Amino acid sequence: MLKTVVCVSGGGTNLQAILDAIEQGRITNTRITAVISNNPGAKALERAKTHGIPGIVMSPKEYPDRESFHRAFTEKMCELAPDLIVLAGFLVKIPQEMVARFSGRIVNIHPSLIPSFCGVGYYGLKVHEKALERGVKLTGATVHFVNEGMDEGPIIAQRAVEVREDDTPQTLQRRVMEQAEWILLPAAIDDIANGRLQIADGKVRRKRNGDSL
Ligand code: GRF
């Protein structure tokens, strides 16, 4: 059973997609043991509560400086001892010490086709605003492992989504969620939980029959 902690900041629709997939058997061998939010008002915390999953608030605002927040956050994660950490719309950069401790065990969903529209400053609706400003005809979402960089870790899966001429950042965000994020993230968790992914030379490869992980 893959003990999983999900980190969130807002609405939690990606968390909901994971919870639904577990309930419907599209994710197997996985249990969400806690949901961590930096935002006490996150709707995602209500979704966790509805499913009987403990919600934990850890906000940098409650600490005198970033360093003490990083220490407390990493300690809390070590206490929870997850096999997998899922960043599902989590707007806080993961401390280096946590990346080191949980190397190859943290995944993130990003609402663009990396390496487009990612990195510092590209989060939430801003990603879609920039895509529309640039006039791209295709965008999408990427699920990737987290390393010390920003949106730079090995890519697990991507899905393209069409941009329409009358799109607003909001309509585009919704389509990217429906057609890409809510499909990719549960599928990646299921693949990890069932040993179907492997990392070789910094790249993620799907395990073929007979390969050992
Ligand atoms: C998603 O688009 C995610 O990719 C981005 O922030 C949004 C969070 O949505 N990083 P939700 O909280 O899962 O509804």
pLDDT per residue as tens digits for the range 68-96: 999 999 999 999 999 999 999 999 999 99
The pTM score is 0.95
Residue of minimum CA distance from atom 7 in ligand 1: 89
C-beta separation of 173 from 125 below 8 A: yes
Could you tell me the distance, in angstroms and rounded to a whole number, from the CA of residue 14 to the centre of ligand 1? 6
Q: What lines the ligand 1 site, CB under 6 Å?
A: 8, 10-14, 44, 88-89, 109-111, 123-124, 177, 181
3-state DSSP: the chain helix, strand, coil percent, rounded to 5? 35, 25, 40
Atom nearest to 13 CA in ligand 1:
14
Interatomic CA distance for residues 205 and 180, integer angstroms: 20
Atom of ligand 1 nearest to the CA of 87: 10
Q: Domains in the chain, ordered, with CATH?
A: 2-206 (3.40.50.170)
More confident of the two residues 171 and 199 = 171
